């Protein structure tokens, strides 16, 4: 049973969730505002939210029929019978509670008695929990309406990077939006690979993701747009904030993103599953190299 839960946690998605926190931490460190306690609680809260999202996705897709025996990707816990639906629902409730507790501890450590900021971030945290659950759970899950990409851009990009940056520094500048967009675009690319892989099963279940709506050929063009947009946002930030050639280190990840784009272009939907992990790890490496560039 434990192995089934670990599989349901989908640990391979965690590097992606940590990428936006890493980007915010690197930007804060470049200004001399890094705090290990804030970073640790940011990471813990983000990991809990990501696991919550994965469990809710497993439960919701099984209930709505997007997970079934003919699905291209790996089997899910509820769909395969490894974990009962009731147990999965209880786990969603548990991780919602753990995410909230971790988030409250983070706000106390980072913001103290700045109640205005605490209130704002608390509302944002609750919105994160609701978004993680209602992506596939509920009468009208927004993931089935094709709004998952927008949600990923907001929470894995703008909120993840700029929110964590503010918790470190108490300030966000205009150019900081650009690396946030990089993280958001790359996270959308991970989702796009997932949705292209599942295009047939999603169509069968009435899950109208972007690839289902526009077809695989246009979804491939969309994928290249996301990869290019993420890299160009990083380049634009570097040009605006240029101080050292080390800031161009992130360009070493270019071949990895090209490889991912070529796989989406050339391979069948059923062959794309390994490129979810490859895209997530490429994003994490991009963040590490980008961050090293801004602090060296």
Residue 245: CB atoms within 10 Å: 10
Candidates 208, 114, 217; CA nearest to 166 is 114
Residue 140: CB atoms within 10 Å: 7
Pinpoint the alpha helices (H) of the chain. Answer: 2-9, 14-30, 36-64, 77-80, 85-111, 115-134, 148-152, 164-169, 177-197, 199-205, 210-240, 254-266, 274-295
Yes or no: say if 49 and 127 are a contact pair by the CB < 8 Å rule: no
Candidates 31, 220, 44; CA nearest to 125 is 44
Identify the pLDDT of residue 76. 66
Identify the pLDDT of residue 7. 86
Q: Which residues, at least 6 apart from 266, have a Cβ–Cβ distance to it below 8 Å?
A: none
Handedness of CA 161, 166, 167, 168 (dihedral sign): positive
Q: What does the alpha-carbon distance between residue 162 and residue 115 come to, in Å, rounded to a whole number?
A: 19
Q: What is the pTM of this model?
A: 0.93
Tens digits of pLDDT across the chain (296 residues): 788 898 888 888 888 899 999 999 999 999 999 999 999 999 999 999 999 999 998 888 777 655 445 545 566 678 777 889 899 999 999 999 999 999 999 999 999 999 999 999 999 999 999 999 998 887 888 988 889 999 999 999 999 999 999 999 999 999 999 999 999 999 999 999 999 999 998 888 888 999 999 999 999 999 999 999 999 999 999 999 999 999 999 999 999 999 999 999 999 999 999 999 999 999 999 999 999 999 99
Identify the pLDDT of residue 205. 82
> Which whole-number Å values give the CA distances from 16 to 10, 156, 188, 197, in the listed order?
12, 8, 10, 18
Candidates 127, 123, 122, 126; CA nearest to 105 is 122
Identify the pLDDT of residue 53. 92
CA 119 to chain CA centroid, nearest Å: 24
Q: What does the alpha-carbon distance between residue 274 and residue 277 come to, in Å, rounded to a whole number?
A: 6
């Amino acid at each position: 049973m434990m192995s089934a839960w670990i599989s349901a946690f989908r640990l391979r998605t965690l590097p992606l969730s940590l990428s936006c926190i890493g980007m915010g931490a690197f930007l804060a460190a470049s200004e001399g505002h890094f705090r290990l306690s804030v970073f640790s609680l940011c990471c813990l809260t983000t990991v809990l939210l990501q696991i919550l999202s994965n469990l809710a996705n497993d439960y919701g897709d099984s209930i709505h029929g997007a997970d079934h025996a003919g699905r291209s990707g790996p089997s899910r816990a509820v769909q395969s019978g490894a974990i009962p639906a009731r147990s999965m629902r209880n786990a969603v409730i548990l991780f919602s509670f753990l995410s909230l507790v971790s988030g409250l501890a983070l706000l106390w450590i980072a913001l103290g008695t700045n109640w205005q900021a605490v209130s704002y971030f608390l509302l944002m945290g609750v919105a994160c929990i609701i978004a993680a659950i209602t992506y596939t759970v509920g009468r009208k899950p927004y993931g089935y309406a094709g709004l998952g990409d927008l949600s990923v851009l907001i929470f894995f990009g703008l909120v993840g990077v700029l929110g964590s940056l503010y918790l470190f520094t108490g300030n966000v500048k205009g150019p900081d939006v650009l690396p946030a967009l990089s993280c958001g675009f790359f996270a959308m690319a991970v989702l796009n690979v997932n949705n292209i892989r599942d295009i047939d099963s999603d169509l069968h279940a009435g899950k109208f993701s972007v690839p289902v709506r526009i077809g695989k050929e246009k979804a491939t063009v969309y994928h290249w747009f996301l990869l290019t947009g993420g890299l160009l946002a990083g380049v634009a930030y570097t040009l605006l904030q240029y101080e050292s050639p080390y800031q161009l280190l992130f360009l070493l990840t270019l071949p990895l993103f090209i490889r991912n784009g070529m796989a989406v272009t050339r391979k069948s939907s059923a062959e794309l599953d390994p490129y979810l992990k490859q895209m997530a790890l490429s994003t994490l490496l991009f963040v590490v190299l980008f961050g090293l560039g801004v602090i060296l």
